[in-house]
């Protein structure tokens, strides 16, 4: 009797967890969404549209990029947090994903409600000035800022809580000046006003600002990597300009709703690694001003946790809030 019960138990055991296996085998069973919490034309949108055609080819299902812009990427993130955990909705995000929890009240918990999938790449931020401004260098800008009432000079970014914003706050602290932040609803609208001369300074990333620095429409005053960046010749890093230890690269990544089964998460991470290793895709990403990293698993999770703690300290020290 005991042997019969054991035999039946062993026969039933493979049926105990069939749902995960079936989910993996069937995935994807319908179109896959890549949600971008930013308007078209910004760096996150650029990354999503670089990945989209290759993911579609490898998955054998339509892959659709959806722009859900607003509130420093959090509108799109909230959409993904609410999505079913079946692997058909993914978030293409940037560094603000781990900064905004310290700045605003969110309808989700980044650590509880999201699973980090792949750190796609990173690159520099660049502080730019309109070509008509009187500051030929970062040193000239700092001298002008010290000679005027605090906050008289303004700078634009893609929004409150972006790396552009908090890194510029830290840079100003280290340089001993005060500038006024002008947040936009994404990199593309901020770029339009920067090119029109509506704002004198624009802090952005290489994919958005690089072409205009190279054309001369915007003047590069410095990059936030430790050394000068390959695609922005003649633009020194802030470390090279005397801001010791200052480094604040921006980054892009893929997240999933936390409940997506591990086999599906692992498969997506594997596909992204495959795509980013392809010479053509890698070259296209690098042409946008990014270094390909393709870090997944524990490596990315540890990186995201460290970035969360690092920038939360800057936010608290400077009392940065959504209205800042």
Question: Cα(322)–Cα(106) distance, rounded to whole angstroms?
Answer: 11
Last residue of a domain, one of 207, 223, 239: 223
Asked if residue 5 is part of any domain, the answer here is no
Please indicate, yes or no, whether residues 36 and 179 belong to a single structural domain of this protein. Answer: no
Among residues of the chain, what percentage have pLDDT more than 70?
A: 92
Q: Confirm if 96 and 163 have CB atoms less than 8 A apart.
A: yes
CB atoms within 10 A of CB 30: 11
178, with CB counted inside 10 A (0-12, 13-18, 19+), is middle
Asked if residue 20 is part of any domain, the answer here is no
Q: Confirm if 102 and 315 have CB atoms less than 8 A apart.
A: yes
Please indicate, yes or no, whether residues 149 and 167 belong to a single structural domain of this protein. Answer: yes
Q: List CB contacts of 103: < 8 A, sequence separation 6 or more.
A: 72, 160, 161, 315, 320, 321, 322, 324
Asked if residue 3 is part of any domain, the answer here is no
SS3 label, residue 130? strand
Question: Cα(118)–Cα(268) distance, rounded to whole angstroms?
Answer: 9
Please indicate, yes or no, whether residues 37 and 113 belong to a single structural domain of this protein. Answer: yes
pLDDT band at 305 (very low <50, low <70, confident <90, very high): very high
Please indicate, yes or no, whether residues 79 and 139 belong to a single structural domain of this protein. Answer: no
Please indicate, yes or no, whether residues 188 and 218 belong to a single structural domain of this protein. Answer: yes
SS3 label, residue 304? helix
User: Residue 221: which of 203, 198, 199, 248 has the closest Cα?
Assistant: 203
Domain of 41: which CATH number? 3.40.190.150
Q: Confirm if 93 and 108 have CB atoms less than 8 A apart.
A: no
Please indicate, yes or no, whether residues 110 and 255 belong to a single structural domain of this protein. Answer: yes
Domain housing 144: 125-223
What's the full length of the chain, in residues?
324
Structural domain total, the chain = 2
Q: Confirm if 203 and 171 have CB atoms less than 8 A apart.
A: no
Question: Is omega for the bond preceding 224 within 30 degrees of 0, making it cis?
Answer: no
Q: Return the pLDDT at 215.
A: 96
Q: Return the pLDDT at 303.
A: 97
CB atoms within 10 A of CB 228: 18
17, with CB counted inside 10 A (0-12, 13-18, 19+), is exposed
Q: What share of the chain is helix, strand, coil (3-state, %, to 5)?
A: 45, 20, 35
Residue 324 scores a pLDDT above 80: no
Question: Cα(308)–Cα(320) distance, rounded to whole angstroms?
Answer: 15
On average, the pLDDT of the chain sits at 92
What integer is the mean pLDDT of 78-90? Answer: 96
Please indicate, yes or no, whether residues 286 and 142 belong to a single structural domain of this protein. Answer: no
Please indicate, yes or no, whether residues 56 and 91 belong to a single structural domain of this protein. Answer: yes
Q: Residue 264: phi, psi to the nearest 5?
A: -70, -40
Please indicate, yes or no, whether residues 148 and 115 belong to a single structural domain of this protein. Answer: no
What integer is the mean pLDDT of 142-159? Answer: 96
Last residue of a domain, one of 205, 223, 241: 223
Question: Cα(296)–Cα(101) distance, rounded to whole angstroms?
Answer: 22
Please indicate, yes or no, whether residues 130 and 210 belong to a single structural domain of this protein. Answer: yes
What integer is the mean pLDDT of 312-320? Answer: 95
Please indicate, yes or no, whether residues 99 and 162 belong to a single structural domain of this protein. Answer: no
Q: Confirm if 145 and 179 have CB atoms less than 8 A apart.
A: yes
What integer is the mean pLDDT of 167-194? Answer: 95
Residue 210 scores a pLDDT above 70: yes
Q: Return the pLDDT at 322.
A: 75
Q: What is the pLDDT of residues 3-54, one digit of tens each?
A: 444 344 444 444 444 454 555 568 999 999 999 999 998 899 999 999 999 9
Please indicate, yes or no, whether residues 81 and 141 belong to a single structural domain of this protein. Answer: no
Question: Cα(283)–Cα(278) distance, rounded to whole angstroms?
Answer: 8
CB atoms within 10 A of CB 310: 14
């Amino acid at each position: 009797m005991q042997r019969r019960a054991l035999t039946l138990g062993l026969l039933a055991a493979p049926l105990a967890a069939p749902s995960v296996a079936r989910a993996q085998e069937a995935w994807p069973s319908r179109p896959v969404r890549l949600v971008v919490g930013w308007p078209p034309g910004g760096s996150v949108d650029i990354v999503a549209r670089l990945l989209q055609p290759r993911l579609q080819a490898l998955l054998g299902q339509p892959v659709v990029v959806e722009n859900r812009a607003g509130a420093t990427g959090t509108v799109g993130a909230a959409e993904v947090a609410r999505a079913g955990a079946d692997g058909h909705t993914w978030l293409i995000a940037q560094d603000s994903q781990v900064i905004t929890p310290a700045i605003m009240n969110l309808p989700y918990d980044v650590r509880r409600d999201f699973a980090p999938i792949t750190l796609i790449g990173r690159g520099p931020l660049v502080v730019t000035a309109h070509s008509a401004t009187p500051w030929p260098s970062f040193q000239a800008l700092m001298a002008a800022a010290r000679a005027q009432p605090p906050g008289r000079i303004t700078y634009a970014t893609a929004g409150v809580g972006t790396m552009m914003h908090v890194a510029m706050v830290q840079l100003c602290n280290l340089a001993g000046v005060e500038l006024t932040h002008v947040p936009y609803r994404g990199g593309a609208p901020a770029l339009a006003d920067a090119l029109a001369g509506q704002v004198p300074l624009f802090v952005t990333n290489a994919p958005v600002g690089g072409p205009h620095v190279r054309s001369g429409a915007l003047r590069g005053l410095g990059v936030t990597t430790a050394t000068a960046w390959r695609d922005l010749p003649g633009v020194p890093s802030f470390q090279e300009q005397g801001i010791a230890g200052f480094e604040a690269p921006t980054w892009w990544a893929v997240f999933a709703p936390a409940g997506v089964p591990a086999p599906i998460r692992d498969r997506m991470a594997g596909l992204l690694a495959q795509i980013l290793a392809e010479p053509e895709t890698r070259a296209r990403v690098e042409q946008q001003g990014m270094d390909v990293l393709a870090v997944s698993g524990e490596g990315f999770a540890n990186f995201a946790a460290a970035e969360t703690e690092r920038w939360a300290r800057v936010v608290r020290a400077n009392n940065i809030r959504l209205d800042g």
